[in-house]
Amino acid sequence: MSTVRGTYSNGTVKLKTKPDWPENIEVEVGPETNQLGISEEEQGTDPQSIAEWIAWYRSLEPMVGFDSDFLEKDEWYKKCGYHTPEKLKELDEIFQ
């Protein structure tokens, strides 16, 4: 099933597109946020919550399938606008 966007006004939600949902399906509606993941307040600090987070983290698979250019560190630094470690060393020597 797809996610659709809409606008809340006068107690109703007007959807921008018609969803491909079955009739009479229950939905949950909430304001859109730009937050990625959960906040610190939502993250539990009890041992069970921490153990669940560690289990999730350990279940992550390594990222594969990148172009060889992407994996070259100097190219990556250039693409991201970072200085290479060698360049940082040069800059550090200037300010000593």
3-state secondary structure 51-70: HHHHHHHHHCCCCCCCCHHH
For residue 15, which amino acid is it? L
pLDDT at 10 over 90: yes
d(CA 80, CA 52): 33
List, for residues 49-95, the tens digit of each pLDDT value: 888 888 888 888 876 666 555 556 667 667 776 767 777 788 778 88
Q: Report residue 56 CA to chain centroid gap.
A: 15
Which residues is 14 bridged to in the sheet? Answer: 7
If you average pLDDT over every residue of the chain, what do you get? 80
